[in-house]
Amino acid sequence: MEETTQDSNKVTKWVPQGRTFRGGGGGRVHPPLHDHGHGQTTSSYQYHYQHHQQQQQPRYFRHHHNPFQNSNGVGFFGQNQHLQGNPPLLPLPFPPPVPMIPFQVSSAVFFHQSTQNQSLRSKTHFHGPSWKKNTHPVPSSSSDRKIAAALEVYEEGVQLKLMPANVESRGSDINPQALVVARRPDRGGVEGRVISLLANHYCVQFNPSQRIFHYDVEILPSPSKEVARLIKRKLVEDDSESLSDACPAYDGRRNLYSPIEFRDDNLEFFISLPIHTTKSPLEVCDLVGVNHQKVKLFRVNIKLVSKLDAKDLNNYLSTEGLDKWVPLPQDYLHALDVVLRESPTEKCIQVGRSLYSSSMGGGVELGGGAIGLRGFFQSLRPTQQGLALNVDLSATAFHESIGIISYLQKKVEFLHDLPRRKTSSLNSDERKEVEKVLKNVRVFVSHRHAVQRYRVQGLTQEATEDLWFKDRDGTKLRLVDYFKDQYNHVIQFRNLPCLQISMSKPCYLPMELCMICEGQKFLGKLSDDQTAKLLKMGCQRPRERRAIIDGVVNGPFGPMSSDQVKEFKLEISREMTRLKGRILQPPKLKLGEGGLKMDLAPSRLDCQWNLYGSHVVEGTRIERWALISFGGTPSQKSNIPRFIHQLASKCDQMGIFLDKSTTICTQFEPIQVLNNVSLLESKLKKIQKMADGKLQLLLCLMEKKHKGYGDLKRIAETRVGLVSQCCLHSNLGKLSSQFLVNLALKINAKVGGSTVALYNSLPSQIPRTLRHDEPIIFMGADVTHPHPLDDFSPSVAAVVGSVNWPSSNKYVSRIRSQTHRQEIIQDLGEMVVEILVDFMQEVTKLPKMIIFFRDGVSETQFYKVLKEELQSIRNACTKFPGYKPLITFAVVQKRHHTRLFPDENDPNCKLFANDNVPPGTIVDTVITHPREFDFYLCSHWGAKGTSRPAHYHVLWDESGFTSDEFQKLVYSLCFTFVRCTKPISIVPPAYYAHLAAYRGRLYLDRPESVARGTATAVSRAGPPKAAPLPKISENVKKLMFYC
């Protein structure tokens, strides 16, 4: 076999042995690269590797194709036969490039921003011209006219109309050049008792004089990631002289990093590897045939991209000149991250930024065809102590490597007895369910020695016994006869469909001859039982978790097991980072006036309190309510009168009035009613009509958890106008006091009450920044996205806002659907306007300050979210003439991997040395950002596992908070959550936004068949326009119905 190279017209013979050839000189002409408009390359690395160079990016930074998407039916290494110990895992689909705007501003602009935290209250960064009352343009659309006409509010007796929606203030535009993330206003907070802690950050020392040479690697034909690493390994072994005897680090894609410069800037090699292949005698598909082993030749082009200098990173981490804006040298940081991941990646299964191995505790069967594997997360971060490697324990679910038939037995309920029903076929609904379970799963065949892996695209419409195909001669063959004649295998499950493994041509695989490949992340939705087992795998107490993490870092899979660490002159600490934290004092709480105690100060270590002998701060009167039971045994139904009596008595003890008699008699319906949407709606409307349309609450008892729960909530809150509370019949058997208290708190909150308030209001706690006569609104926002396998459904955004001051414990919400997987909130401005109107109606004036907590944003999205959503908030404020509040914009992160452990040698940690850190533990030094305003706050008590502190990152602050002020504000708010009597893990506005967004997802009434039917076409053409959510009833929308 021959191949013509492009550097000359001569023909190079393939050599069967695994030898390495070096190509000709530097005059080689590169094959043209096709640019499909993706722009420059960005990796999955959390800092989004990107060059900050003024010159144009070279073309080899553009992914002109996806080198990780192998065609169906073609593979290099098979199940259980991977070469040289590589994990048997096909790479996950590579995410599309995400452009990131670098933080580039002039020094003058930075000075403008750097003074924001020290500014006086009257100052603002937005000095735009005021509105002119005589220049209001006419609204251009009917919706604008409705908004302008309907949203009328009153302030101090003066009627105030909102500006039309199409009017914008020129002064409200935020100059993107001026957007610099807020700097830390001081050297950190000082309030609280100091304690010694350890954090799972391992200090990484690098040589400031060490240069790193970055090379672009192009391999043709494009291999899988595993094969690319084999090629790199063979290249280093066979032609180290050309690489100057270096030990480079490779990311398996296009980036190769070396501590020394190669002999030439342009290198070309030919690498031959033995690859198992199969030549098929069938025309329709390469799925059966005789095995062959041949040598496959790869052309490797290596070209110098840049010479990276460590000085920029050293300057960024330096404590000198913190008032100067310095860009993060992401290119050098990314290079070091690749170096530290080189060895773990070769030994473990990589899923995102985590690595998994069966050697770390073995696989745990989760049931339903899933197994759980333990692994570890690893990420390089810039911190105040310098570079730090964040390592944490992780666990995730993988598909169990078993036969398809056995897998379906475990996974699909109606196929548990599949071996005994070989002659049974699948009806239409059953076939759709099986197809949903198997789609996108990778399999290999077991009837012959083969290494190909195939991705299941769907199922055949016909049963296996009805499938025919044509061979190369055009002869029509029956599939079951072919396998009997060719392999002496009699197909047993003839009435089941075959797996379809190609989207473009008929490629069939009988189910019973297919095995699921190892190392595939389980992308399906886990059941409650599976989730509980998986959580238990990663639920270690602090001392145990700390020992496991230390073992990973210093073990055979850790970053220090790599030869590259020494080559690049890196030194990694073998111990966790020691640092000082502080424990903030819990706030004093205000209770209702009718109880024995009207205030309390949480004194327990876990900061929990109870309402024994006390009333909620604001109890409601529920005089008209009803109860409906879905299913339940006669014994369970007999518990209902006792339940009603005890619930009403408990409410009375807590200062909540719940009439002991329902407005209408208890309604009993079979559980099957929840399966019928129209019937369910008619039943709820009937109940509302029987109560003259004045029900305050509908209590729903269910026999078991049911998928109709979402329909019940949607119909009640959007079609009927009912606030509902659901609970299971099983909880009524042994009514505990705690269950009744929790139920009463949720009911009270949903109908307009509140649990506690701060005894010392926020203005009295933070007098320098907050004032009683200048109200503040706390807002929270979150976006929830559909399941990873769903490429059709819209995302759901929710924004909540407090509407009482200074208590700030009641919130209204706005929920919108938006483009599929769109993280930026598209209708944020409109939602903020509506919430501000609600605030003004309750407080009679607009807030002087907006404190906005944004949930669900990763570090790579900080700039984009700040740039677009801050502008949306500003534009919303311009709808009110002359209104320019101070805005503080903070991101709340829970999905991070920083953990805090008590230092057992510290006397101050004696009470919790073997437990989690107590509520109020705060860290804003050493492991936090070297320049920006962030901190870790563990505001809750971790009863199980190891507590995860919330990470707050203030991106914008016009209010001038000090570290102590903002930390105290956040911690105090965590005590005001309405559903429990303990501080929660994240600030309530963010928590409420999360709950509201989840409620909005329940409103998406989209049949599964519609969502799946055109998924492929939709994904190719782009996500569809999001259908709007149903409108929430007027008598429900201002209540906290989502709690």
Question: Residues 216-274: pLDDT tens digits?
Answer: 999 999 988 888 999 999 999 999 999 999 999 999 999 999 999 999 999 999 999 88
In this prediction, residue 502 carries a pLDDT of 86
Tokens of 690: 């029987």
Question: Quick check: 313 pLDDT over 60?
Answer: yes
Question: Quick check: 573 pLDDT over 90?
Answer: yes
Q: In Å, how far are 243, 271, 396 from 342, measured between CA atoms?
A: 18, 21, 22
Report the run of H or E that residue 996 belongs to, with start and end: helix 988-1002
Contact yes or no for 272/14 (Cβ under 8 A):
yes
Average pLDDT, integer, range 26-48: 38
How far apart CA 883 and CA 910 sit, in angstroms, is 52
In this prediction, residue 419 carries a pLDDT of 80
In this prediction, residue 109 carries a pLDDT of 33
Question: Quick check: 174 pLDDT over 90?
Answer: no
Q: Which of 1042, 944, 958 is nearest to 992 (CA)?
A: 1042
Give 37's contacts (C-beta < 8 A, 6+ positions apart).
none
Backbone φ and ψ of 338, nearest 5°: -65, -40
Work out whether strand 886-893 and strand 849-855 pair parallel, antiparallel, or are unpaired. parallel
685: confidence class by pLDDT, cuts 50, 70, 90: very high
Q: What is the largest CA-CA distance in the chain?
A: 97
| Partners of 272 in the β-ladder | 297
Range from 553-567, 606-620, 702-716, 948-962 carrying the lowest mean pLDDT: 553-567
One DSSP character per residue, 189-222 reads ---SEEEEEEESEEEEE--TT--EEEEEEEEESP
Question: Quick check: 148 pLDDT over 60?
Answer: no
Average pLDDT, integer, range 188-207: 97
How far apart CA 363 and CA 375 sit, in angstroms, is 11
Place of tokens 């270690």: 540
Question: Quick check: 136 pLDDT over 90?
Answer: no
How far apart CA 399 and CA 382 sit, in angstroms, is 36
Give the neighbor-by-neighbor strand order of the sheet with 212-220. Answer: 20-22, 266-279, 290-308, 212-220, 255-258, 249-250
Contacts 24+ apart (CB under 8 A), 604-610: 605/911, 605/912, 605/918, 605/941, 606/918, 606/919, 606/941, 606/943, 606/982, 607/918, 607/919, 607/920, 607/941, 607/975, 607/982, 607/983, 608/941, 608/981, 608/982, 609/981, 609/982, 610/741, 610/981
How far apart CA 55 and CA 436 sit, in angstroms, is 48
Per residue in 726-759, pLDDT (tens digit) is: 999 999 988 999 999 999 999 999 999 999 999 9
Average pLDDT, integer, range 984-1002: 97
| Partners of 13 in the β-ladder | 2
Question: Quick check: 11 pLDDT over 80?
Answer: no
pTM for this one?
Answer: 0.82
| Partners of 477 in the β-ladder | 469
Q: Which amino acid is at 717?
A: E
Place of tokens 């677009």: 868
Q: Is 669 exposed, middle or buried (0-12, 13-18, 19+ CB in 10 A)?
A: middle
What are the start-end ranges of the E strands in 681-794? 697-702, 724-728, 757-758, 776-784
> CB neighbours (10 Å) of residue 427?
10
The C-alpha angle with vertex 211 and arms to 205 and 213, in degrees rounded to 5, equals 125
Share of the chain above pLDDT 70, in %: 79
Give 545's contacts (C-beta < 8 A, 6+ positions apart).
393, 899, 901, 945, 946
Question: Quick check: 1026 pLDDT over 90?
Answer: no
Per residue in 335-356, pLDDT (tens digit) is: 999 999 999 998 899 998 899 9
| Partners of 783 in the β-ladder | 797
Q: Say whether 964 sits in a helix, a strand or coil.
A: helix
- 3-state SS string over 373-422? EEEEEEEEEEECCEEEEEEEEEEEEEECCCEHHHHHHHHCHHHCCHHHCC
Give 878's contacts (C-beta < 8 A, 6+ positions apart).
131, 163, 167, 168, 169, 172
In this prediction, residue 733 carries a pLDDT of 87
Q: In Å, how far are 418, 420, 434, 435, 493 from 412, measured between CA atoms?
A: 10, 15, 7, 11, 16
Range from 317-331, 474-488, 682-696, 797-811 carrying the lowest mean pLDDT: 317-331
Question: Quick check: 423 pLDDT over 90?
Answer: no
910: confidence class by pLDDT, cuts 50, 70, 90: confident
Q: In Å, how far are 81, 306, 580, 805, 924 from 190, measured between CA atoms?
A: 59, 44, 11, 28, 10
